[in-house]
Amino acid sequence: MAKDAVRVLVTGAAGQIGYALVPMIARGVMLGPDQPVILHMLDIPPAAEALSGVKMELIDAAFPLLKGVVATTNVVEACTGVNIAVMVGGFPRKEGMERKDVMSKNVSIYKEQASALEKHAAANCKVLVVANPANTNALILKEFAPSIPAKNVTCLTRLDHNRALGQISERLNMQVSDVKNVIIWGNHSSTQYPDVNHATVTTQAGEKSVRELIANDTWLNGEFITIVQQRGAAIIKARKLSSALSAASAACDHICDWVLGTPKGTWVSMGVYSDGSYGIPAGLIYSFPVTCEKGEWSIVQGLKIDEFSRAKMDATANELIEEKSLAYSCLS
């Protein structure tokens, strides 16, 4: 029996990440090769013409799974009936802007979009926030969409997770598919902590720890962390544009694992609402290692945290506490 179409919202759909993301969704990368989708694309009025061009291209691509396209600048129309919302649109920080200025503009955007999702999205809608500051934007969205369960509001740290996997595989000259269980703790910012203490690699001799195989703690505790933290800036310097392709791919990975489940014995990194696990204050959207099953994520418990990791995890939590305070000050 044919499946019912899933309605997927992408905000900022005429932008670079949106332009890379919508064909992936339409091709089945996000929800599987047998899941029909109806794409809802939202952007701001100045991007309306570009958005109509994206819709034309989606039609011209003749994706078999794509059962409809809604392209609009109206937030209510965009949010009506959606099962999954990927929030790519946001106000970027520009030269000379203070953090509070950027936060204030994003608070306004996410307050409006959260209210529309609250009133018009399908029951049990899953939300992924991509736009920076992703963790705090997700927290604001949760605040203004109280009927959406806290576990249904997440932010994207899978891009950082994938970057960490890529760096390990490059260092070892092995397939990235053989590396698993890195962790991104904390904020999607330069304070995030890429942790390899529990990561492993599948070799011909069996499963080995990343630390054992790389055998260079100086690199793993120093340059590796900095490379992952600063990768976005490095790509902007090289491309003169942001990392749209990899961000779109990571968004698909995030939703795919959330909806369809993670492989047994494997965890991924997701920015989720903290329940106090690992001593991280409850009430923050913080990146943890999670497993997913039947559309639900669960934080991996019982991992040993060394002193080095503890300091890094606390530092990124403290940044999120400051961002939360700044965001809430913009609400008054």
In this structure, what CATH number is given to the domain that contains residue 255? 3.90.110.10
Residue-range definition of the domain harbouring residue 297:
158-327
CATH at residue 128: 3.40.50.720
What pLDDT is stored for residue 95 in this prediction? 65
Q: Are residues 42 and 126 in the same domain?
A: yes
Q: Are residues 14 and 119 in the same domain?
A: yes
Binding residues: 12-18, 43, 93, 99, 106, 130-132, 163
Helices and strands, counts by H and E, the chain: 12, 14
Catalytic residue among 40, 120, 161, 188: 188
Residue 155, strand partner residues: 129, 271
Binding residues for NAD(+): 12-18, 43, 106, 130-132
CB count within 10 Å of CB 77 equals 14
Binding residues for substrate: 93, 99, 132, 163
Cβ atoms 180, 266 nearer than 8 A: yes
Final residue of a domain: which of 155, 185, 200?
155
Task: Say whether 120 is catalytic.
Answer: no
Q: Are residues 136 and 13 in the same domain?
A: yes
The answer to whether position 332 is within a domain reads: no
Q: Are residues 101 and 75 in the same domain?
A: yes
What pLDDT is stored for residue 94 in this prediction? 66
Final residue of a domain: which of 129, 155, 181?
155
Q: Are residues 313 and 164 in the same domain?
A: yes
Final residue of a domain: which of 120, 155, 190?
155
What pLDDT is stored for residue 102 in this prediction? 79
The answer to whether position 124 is within a domain reads: yes
- Over residues 97-129, the pLDDT tens digits come to 676 777 888 888 999 999 999 999 999 999 999
Per DSSP (E only), the strands in 74-170 are 84-87, 126-129, 153-155
Q: Are residues 102 and 163 in the same domain?
A: no
Q: Are residues 225 and 258 in the same domain?
A: yes
What pLDDT is stored for residue 105 in this prediction? 86
Q: Are residues 20 and 148 in the same domain?
A: yes
Q: Are residues 30 and 141 in the same domain?
A: yes
Cβ atoms 16, 38 nearer than 8 A: no
What residue ranges of the chain have pLDDT lower than 70?
Answer: 1, 93-97, 99
Number of domains in the chain: 2
